[in-house]
A and B are shown apart, each in its own frame.
Chain A
């Protein structure tokens, strides 16, 4: 366990080093969330003020989080392949799952920073009033949202390891997820047969919990608590699946010799 934590910390630190070493990072952190926010503003121009605030801030923030969690994790893996570093890390005693966990967490937090930024933009420039009635409930929901996104990055890690075109896949996947997670609208607008997809995504519930936490007395609200519970449950399920898939993937890669292909 001590070694796992050391690997996790190392992966966090390395991901930050690598992120900050890229010339584009200030751009990613500013322009992209701004663009997401703008889309949301136009979409909800005519909505009542309360809906407007929630969907502009949360919707575009969640989009930013998806983009960062998926984009960041797939990009990291593509890079590992391109540079040939994966061939070396694979044969260290470090668990690939813990490396991926560190990486996913950083990308989820970066995603959260875009959400915070969008909130700031909305308050300062769009005249949106944001009041958080239950700060504790809000904080809890936000932390769980980070976890929910990080675990999805982790869950997809084995898939990104198997494919040579992780970035293309994540691109296709993230569009899909924007829809299913109801980032820009309540999922109740989706046709019935599509809804189960949303229900198995942990962020669907954690985002709903955030939405509920802005209202007073959220901690005693059974709806809020249910959303928190579902997020936790799904996160556990994802963790177990990630752990299982990682083992299968590594065994498969040692047979197929696909890891060195670019």
Chain B
């Protein structure tokens, strides 16, 4: 069964600026997107900042109306049957916002349970279980304003499960968390699909997406430019390997020279202080390795190796190659 069905979904934001002479500006945030999410699937959406991921979530969770197109969640139209949709879903936006800061963790959950119409005896039991699930049972009686960011984000996970939703939308749930806290949340997300829940996830952590998602859509400027399993996405860019070179203090002109000389391969450079990591995606790693050594004469090369491509390599290539 398709839990989420999206057809040609489009959203335009109209903003006005100025006081007396109002200037209107339209921003096309989501541009005719179509996809489906299956029951029990962990569906990921990736894409650069401003690609339209959050907007998609806001439409699917009935916070916003689409400008055009149609979407069904659990078989209900998000525009015309929002109440029916709301009963079966929940949403978690990353970050600490969205909690009653003067109330305790437990009070926050009890209030949300009532808003979702959870029967009070069930709510009592569920609140206790969820607090334990997210490891906040010991601090449940403390005000949220005293929570650390990680604790607030964990409370959000509990809040998002309070109505036992069939579909959970998560917008960057691990943003800004330390590795251990992020790991904790990832575990819980994985656990959810084990419970038969459908999860719609956005993230900028490609490793996380690779680990968790059954299928991934890559969004760019409001359009889906790729949609497949992580494995198939890798295949999409061909049977390539990555030559990774770490250099120290590589001058800018060398970099340009490298990109020009290797134009048949996809080159990306990441800079970490005085160090650079150059990743070259190629079908002929040996040839490229020799070429690079030649080209980088005079530059301090710390390390050079050939590795399998990661989802990040694939992502960068798809997003940067697509010139639309």
Residues of chain B at interface, number, CB under 8 A: 33
A85 CB to closest chain B CB (Å) equals: 6
Asked if A254 and B64 make an inter-chain contact with CB atoms under 8 angstroms apart, the answer reads yes
- Determine whether the beta carbon of A91 is less than 8 Å from that of B100: no
The answer to whether the Cβ of B186 comes within 8 Å of any Cβ in the partner chain is: no
Interface residues of B in 75-115 (CB under 8 A from A): 83, 86-87, 89, 91, 93, 97-103, 107, 110-112, 114-115
How many Å lie between the Cα of A92 and that of B113 in the bound state?
Answer: 10
Query: Which B residues are in CB contact (< 8 Å) with A255?
Result: 64-65
Q: Is the CB–CB distance between A14 and B98 below 8 Å? A: no
Report the count of interface residues on A (CB-CB < 8 A).
30
Residue of B nearest to A8 (CB): B114
* Nearest CB of A to B172, in Å: 14
**Hey, what's the 0/1 contact readout for A91-134 against B, CB within 8 Å counting as 1?**
11110000100000000000000000000000000000000000
- Residue among B58, B115, B143 making CB contact with A94, cutoff 8 Å: B115
Bound Cα distance from A21 to B108, whole angstroms: 13
* Residue contact A257 to B111, C-beta cutoff 8 Å: no
Given contacts A83-B98, A91-B61, A257-B64, contact A18 B103 (CB under 8 A): yes
A18-B102, A83-B101, A84-B98 known; A93 vs B115 contact (CB < 8 Å): yes
Is B117 in the interface zone, CB < 8 Å from A? yes
Minimal beta-carbon separation of B303 from chain A (angstroms): 44
Q: Is B91 within 8 A of A85, CB to CB? A: no
Q: Are B99 and A7 in contact (CB under 8 A)?
A: no
* Total of A-B residue pairs, C-beta within 8 Å: 82
Report if A10-B111 is in contact (Cβ < 8 Å); known contacts: A84-B97, A88-B91, A93-B116. yes
Q: Is A222 an interface residue (CB 8 A)?
A: no
Cα of A18 to Cα of B64 in the assembled complex, Å:
28
Contact of A91 among B62, B97, B117, B120 (CB under 8 A): B62
Q: Which residues of B contact A18 (CB under 8 A)?
A: 100, 102-103
The answer, yes or no, to whether A244 is at the interface (CB within 8 Å) is no
A85 to B115, CA, bound (A): 12
Give chain A residues whose Cβ lies under 8 Å from the Cβ of B102. 17-18, 21-22
Which listed residue (B63, B87, B103) contacts A14, Cβ 8 A? B103
Question: Using a CB-CB cutoff of 8 Å, which residues 1-43 of chain A contact chain B?
Answer: 2-3, 6-7, 9-10, 13-14, 17-18, 21-22
Kindly identify which residue among A2, A6, A17, A99 contacts B107, using a CB–CB cutoff of 8 Å: A17
In this assembly, does B35 line the interface, its C-beta being within 8 Å of a C-beta of chain A?
A: no
> B111, A14: Cβ atoms under 8 Å?
yes
Give the Cβ gap from A95 to chain B, nearest Cβ, in Å: 9
Q: Are B83 and A93 in contact (CB under 8 A)?
A: yes
Find chain A residues with CB under 8 A from B107 CB: 14, 17
Known: A85-B98, A91-B63, A255-B65. A9 touches B114 (CB 8 A): yes
Q: Is A87 an interface residue (CB 8 A)?
A: yes
B13 on interface, CB distance cutoff 8 Å: yes
Question: Which B residue's beta carbon lies closest to that of A2?
Answer: B117
A259 contacts chain B at the CB level, 8 A cutoff: yes
Asked if A197 is an interface residue, CB under 8 A from chain B, the answer is: no
Contact B93 A87 (CB under 8 A): yes
Check if B63 sits within 8 Å of A87, measured CB to CB: yes
Interface residue from B93, B99, B117 paired with A3 (Cβ < 8 Å): B117
| A14→B63 CA distance, assembly (Å) | 23
Chain B residues near A165 (CB-CB < 8 A): none
The residue from B86, B97, B101, B103 contacting A92, defined by CB atoms under 8 A apart: B86
Chain A positions within 8 Å of B97 at CB level: 83-84
Q: Determine how close the nearest CB of chain B comes to the CB of A106; give it in whole angstroms.
A: 14
Q: How far is the CA of A126 from the CA of B111 in the complex (A)?
A: 43
Q: How far is the CB of B240 from chain A (nearest CB, A)?
A: 41
A251 to B65, CA, bound (A): 8
Closest beta carbon of chain B to A77's beta carbon, Å: 13
Whether A254 contacts B65 in the complex (CB less than 8 A), given A83-B99, A84-B98, A91-B91, comes out as: yes
Separation in Å of the B141 CB from the closest CB of chain A? 12
Please report B residues at the A interface, Cβ cutoff 8 Å.
13-14, 58, 61-65, 83, 86-87, 89, 91, 93, 97-103, 107, 110-112, 114-117, 120, 143, 159, 163
* Nearest 7 CB-CB pairings of A with B: A10-B114, A84-B97, A94-B115, A21-B102, A92-B115, A3-B117, A254-B65
Q: A89-B115, A94-B114 are in contact. List 16 more A-B contacts (CB 8 A).
A: A2-B117, A6-B114, A7-B115, A17-B102, A18-B102, A21-B102, A21-B103, A85-B98, A87-B93, A91-B63, A92-B116, A93-B83, A93-B115, A93-B116, A93-B117, A257-B58
Identify 16 residue pairs between A and B in the complex whose beta-carbon atoms are under 8 Å apart, listed by A's number. A6-B120, A10-B110, A10-B111, A14-B100, A14-B111, A21-B103, A22-B102, A88-B91, A91-B61, A91-B63, A93-B86, A93-B117, A254-B64, A255-B64, A256-B14, A257-B58
